[in-house]
Structure 1
Amino acid sequence: MPDTKTAPLFAPVADKYKRFALPLAVAVLVIFHAVGFWGMMFSGSPEYFQRLTPMNLLLTNTLLFSFHRHWSAHFILFALVVFAVGFFSEVVGVHTGIIFGDYVYGEALGLKVWEVPLLIGLNWLMLVYVTGVISNKLTLPWIGKGALAALLMVILDFFIEPVAMAFDFWSWRGGEIPLSNYAGWFGIALLLQLYFQKAEFSKQNALAPYVYLVQLLFFLCIGVLL
C-alpha cells in the first residue's frame, strides 16, 4: 500500500527551495551569455564559441519553457504553429528574397534543412513567446499588445543583425541590411503576436523578461565592440 503521507512530508521542502528557481535560472542565463561574450570577443578563438551557439539557444529555451505554466493542448499547438511559420517564412525568404531581402545562412547555427537552420524555428518561438509575455503585462488592447511585442522583436533584431553578419550566423548580399528585413520581421511577428494574444493558454512566465534583457544586452555589447 503506497504511503500517502510522503508527498505532504516533502511539500514544505519543495516550497522552501522553489523560491530559488528564478534567481538560479537568471544566474545560469547570465553566466552562459557572459562566457559566450568573452569567448567571441576576447578569447582569441571565436570560432569555438560560435559552434556553441546552438547549445546556448537550446539551454535558454529549456530554462524559459521550464517556467511556463500549464502545458495545455492550446499551448502546444501555438508552439508548433509559431515554430513552423517562423521556419518556413525563413525558407521562403532565403530562396526568394521576397519577405526579408536577399540573405543566406552560415554554418554557426547548426543543422540546416532547405538552407535554413532548424534552430531558427525555435528562435522564432522563443522571441514571440518572450515578447508576448512581456507585452501582456501592460494594460493595452490586445491589438496594441501584439503590436508592441512585434516592435520589441524588431528592436532586438536590430542589435542582432551586425553580430550575425560578423559571426557567420547569416549574411546579406552586398553586406547591407535592407529595410525590408525589419518590415518583414514586423509583419510576420505581428501575425504571430496576434495569435499569441488570442490563444487560450497561460501567458505568465517569470523568466521571460530576463531572457529578453540578457539577449538584448548580449548583442548590444558585442555590437558596440565590433
Structure 2
Amino acid sequence: MRTDRRTTILWWVIAAQLLLAVGTTLAGWPQPILNVVLLVVVVAMHALRRYTLMSFAVFAAITFVVSNVYENLSILTGFPFGDYYYSDNLGLKLFLVPLVIAPAYFATGYFSWQIAHILLGVTGARPRGRDVFLVPLIASFVMVMWDLIMDPNAATAGGSWIWEDGGGYFGVPLVNFAGWFLCVYTIFQLFALYLARRGPAAIRPEADGLGDAYRYQAIVPYVSVALVLTSRFLTREDGVVTDPAGQQWQLADLGETTMLVSVFTMYFVALLSALLVSRTRAI
C-alpha cells in the first residue's frame, strides 16, 4: 500500500503530539493549552481529508456554540453539569468559560466521532440510515470516558474549575457526567443530521477510499489524551486535597483510580478500535 505525502506528514504531526503527551506525562507537568493546540492541528489535517471545508467549519461551529452555551448556562443556573465555576488557571475566558475549553471539546470530540465509526463498522464517510443516530450515541459514550478521567484531576486536584458542593467522585458530582453526555450528544447529533441532509456534498470525493492508516490516525491522538490524564499515577503524587464541601481526598488514590478507570475505558476503546481496523483489513 503506497503512503502518500499527506499521510506521511500527518503521521509526523501525530508523532509530535504524542511525544508531547508522553513528555508531559513523565515530567508530571501537563501543558493543556499547548497540547490542545497540537490536537486541533491534527484534527484539521485529518478531517479535511474526509470532509469538505464547509462540513469541517460546521462541526467546529456546532461544537463551539453548543459547548459554550451549555457551560455558561450551567455556571449561571446549575443545568446541566451542576454548580461550578472556572478559576483563572486556564487563561482568558469567553463570558464565563476559558477560551481553551471549546477547542478541547472540538479535538477530543472529533476523535471520539471517528472511533464511534470504527466501533460500529461504519466505513463510509458519513453515517446513513440508523447510523445517523447510533454514531452520535456511541461517540457520546467514548467522549464522556475522557471527562470521567479528566474532571477529578483538573477540578479537585488542579483547581481549574471548582465544584461548589463537591461530589462523590473525588469531588465531582454525578450530575456532571449526565450533563456531559447531554452536551456532547447534542453536538454529535446535530452534526450527523447535517451530514445526512447535505449528502455526498458534505464529503470529499475521495473520502470513502481512505485506508486503514487514516483510521489509525484517529486512534493515536485519543490515546495521547489518555496519557496526559493518567500522569498523576505515573508521577506518584502524595498529599491531600480538600474540595469546597470539606471532603479530603488522597492524591495517590486519585491517581490510582484515574489509571484504573482509564485502562478499562479510554485505553480499552482505543485497543478495541485498533483491533477492529486490523481485523477488517484481514477479512
TM norm structure 1 = 0.79
Return the letter of the residue paired with 2:44: F
* Residue matched to 1:26: 14
CA distance in 1, matches of 2:166, 2:179: 18
* CA displacement 1:1-24 (0-9 Å, x = unmatched): xxxxxxxxxxxxxx7644432431
Counterparts in 2 of 1:172 and 1:223: CA distance versus 1, 3 Å: farther
CA distance in 2, matches of 1:217, 1:53: 12
Residue of structure 1 aligned with 2:222, choices 206, 212, 218 = 212
Secondary structure of 2:85's counterpart equals strand
* Residue matched to 2:103: 122
* Residue matched to 2:125: none
Q: How does 1:18-167 map to 2 (within 5 A)?
A: 18-39=6-27, 41=28, 46=29, 52-68=31-47, 69=49, 70-137=51-118, 138-139=120-121, 141-142=130-131, 143-165=133-155, 166-167=157-158
* Offset of residue 170 of structure 1: 1.4
* Residue matched to 1:196: 191
* Contact 1:132-1:197 at 8 Å conserved across structures: no
* Contact 1:93-1:102 at 8 Å conserved across structures: yes
CA distance in 2, matches of 1:16, 1:24: 13
* Residue matched to 2:177: 182
Secondary structure of 1:20's counterpart equals helix
Counterparts in 2 of 1:105 and 1:223: CA distance versus 1, 3 Å: farther
Q: CA RMSD in A?
A: 2.3
Moved over 6 A (4+): none
CA distance in 2, matches of 1:16, 1:76: 25
* CA displacement 1:155-175 (0-9 Å, x = unmatched): 111000111121232121243
* Contact 2:86-2:162 at 8 Å conserved across structures: yes
* Offset of residue 209 of structure 1: 1.7
* Percentage of pairs with the same residue: 25
* Residue matched to 2:232: 222
Give the paired residue count.
Answer: 203
* Offset of residue 129 of structure 1: 1.7
* Contact 2:89-2:160 at 8 Å conserved across structures: yes
State whether structure 2 residue 162 is matched by structure 1 residue 171.
yes
* CA displacement 1:150-208 (0-9 Å, x = unmatched): 01111111000111121232121243211110111111211211223233334875432
Counterparts in 2 of 1:215 and 1:88: CA distance versus 1, 3 Å: same
CA distance in 2, matches of 1:79, 1:64: 10
CA distance in 1, matches of 2:4, 2:79: 53
Secondary structure of 1:100's counterpart equals coil
CA distance in 1, matches of 2:102, 2:111: 14
* Residue matched to 1:9: none
Structure 1 gap ranges (5+): 1-14
CA distance in 2, matches of 1:223, 1:169: 19
* Contact 1:54-1:119 at 8 Å conserved across structures: yes
Return the letter of the residue paired with 1:178: P
Counterparts in 2 of 1:21 and 1:100: CA distance versus 1, 3 Å: same
* CA displacement 1:107-126 (0-9 Å, x = unmatched): 23221122210121112222
